[in-house]
Amino acid sequence: MTHEYLDLQTVPHVEGAVRLPGSKSISNRILLLSALSQGQVAIVDLLASDDTAVMLAALRSLGVEWTEEKTATGTIHHVTGVAGVLPNKSADLFMGNAGTAIRPLTAALAVIGGDYTLHGVPRMHERPIGDLVDALNAAGTNVEYTGNKGYPPLHIKQGRITTDRLSVRGDVSSQFLTALLMVAPLMAREHAITIDVVGELISKPYIEITLNLIRRFGVKVEQNGWESFTIQPGQVYQSPGTIHVEGDASSASYFLAAGAIGGGPVRVEGVGNNSIQGDVRFAAALERMGAQITMGDNWIEARANGPLKAIDADFNHIPDAAMTIAVAALYADGTSTLRNIASWRVKETDRIAAMATELRKVGATVEEGPDFIKVTPPAVIAPATIDTYDDHRMAMCFSLVSLDGALRKGAVTRINDPKCVNKTFPDYFNAFAKIAK
């Protein structure tokens, strides 16, 4: 058990600019697409984090060659694609707690076939993967559970795709559909493949990222609303040459919220009007709470415009960034309700339970349900020691409770296990310190 912690002094005002790290969702998708494609891909501004390190290590174990080049402006990763044929037919792969790595990689290895084992940290073995495995095995792959049914660890053997139609549930995790879409061209070698979505599809903006990137790698996807997707045969991923990774829109949420709570202006650079990430819609939610938001092609800026207003909204489209709204609700003028967030329960931790527990520590009144959370702010935010549950977003969200020093001179917020931010944003607390005045 780690006893490391970070004490945050009360911050009376924030302002400044933050250059965002690359998007985790985009980074791991681009890595796998690059590996599966024909030709060399140069990836600019790939996120440097635990989750991308897990994917890079897995690709190397599978025989995919890549190198990292340091330049004056950042890093470029050069990946040599294997055109859908992996050099190593067997490998033992440690996937940490990276959902964006294990799910698409499971699908790719199952379709390609071989002798592969995938496992991770204990929490990864509690994160569901059954709907994806069921869809794959129904199509003819051979994926076995070596622990609890429906969860990693997994053993993948040689199978054979015997169908032209798959179906997958859309209401547990959008990563299951993302995984199938990414490997559909490998299945559609001789005939078209159609993927049907069963039930409501959650987190649609993440599917939009997937479709956008698949098309960047030269594969056409025919879309029937959000109900089904068809890939015609004979398509092969082609290198786009050079591809840039956008800044992480989920990470932008903490700094934009800080600007809305602590004065501002705070500008994030790396996402803006041209972003392919749905989490930029977080800015619109902050605007509904009364913040003043301005946007350019590649930046967003937030500043306070008086006290925040309570919000009652459906956050199914931005589940990760919505966690930041739950903490911003501490600074609102009444009870805020975040609805349709059942997917929080199956993330890095049970985020509804964790959020409720930690918000109560700082004095909030919290009501939680299977798919919602209601937050009533306290008169004064209490100093507290915040547990982070090995969840990067819990640590980053709760840095915000150190804001608004007028009410709490000298109060300290302690964040336990601050290094969990290494999953997506190793430099987070330094970046936060730079805007704290």
**Region at 418 (left for phi over 0; alpha for psi -120 to 50; beta for the rest):** alpha
Q: Are residues 137 and 53 in the same domain?
A: yes
Q: Are residues 214 and 277 in the same domain?
A: no
pTM of structure: 0.91
Q: What is the C-alpha to C-alpha distance for residues 425 and 282, in angstroms, rounded to an integer? A: 18
Q: Are residues 135 and 251 in the same domain?
A: no
pLDDT, residue 404, reads 81
Q: Are residues 268 and 149 in the same domain?
A: no
Last residue of a domain, one of 203, 228, 244: 244
Last residue of a domain, one of 244, 270, 304: 244
Q: Are residues 60 and 149 in the same domain?
A: yes
Residue 343's CATH number: 3.65.10.10
Q: Are residues 201 and 75 in the same domain?
A: yes
Q: What's the pLDDT tens digit per position in 249-299?
A: 999 999 999 999 999 999 999 999 999 999 999 999 999 999 999 999 999
What pLDDT band is residue 437 in, cutting at 50, 70 and 90? confident
Number of domains in the chain: 2
Q: Are residues 262 and 225 in the same domain?
A: no
Q: Are residues 389 and 431 in the same domain?
A: yes
Q: Residue 96 is part of which domain span?
A: 24-244
pLDDT, residue 3, reads 65
Q: Are residues 223 and 343 in the same domain?
A: no
Last residue of a domain, one of 244, 266, 295: 244
Q: What's the pLDDT tens digit per position in 16-41?
A: 999 999 999 999 999 999 999 999 99
Q: How, if at all, do strands 115-119 and 90-94 pair?
A: parallel
Q: Are residues 360 and 406 in the same domain?
A: yes
Check if 279 is active-site.
no
What pLDDT band is residue 407 in, cutting at 50, 70 and 90? low
Q: Which residue has the higher pLDDT, 381 or 3?
A: 381
Tokens 């990774």, located at residue: 245
Q: Are residues 220 and 296 in the same domain?
A: no
Catalytic residue among 51, 320, 387, 391: 320
Contact 119, 95 (CB under 8 A): yes
Smallest CA-to-CA distance from 54 within 430, 436, 423 is with 423
Q: What's the pLDDT tens digit per position in 233-253?
A: 999 999 999 999 999 999 999
Report the mean per-residue pLDDT for the chain. Answer: 96
pLDDT, residue 1, reads 44
Contact 316, 203 (CB under 8 A): yes
Please say if the pLDDT value at position 353 is more than 80.
Answer: yes
Please say if the pLDDT value at position 2 is more than 80.
Answer: no
Q: Are residues 337 and 297 in the same domain?
A: yes
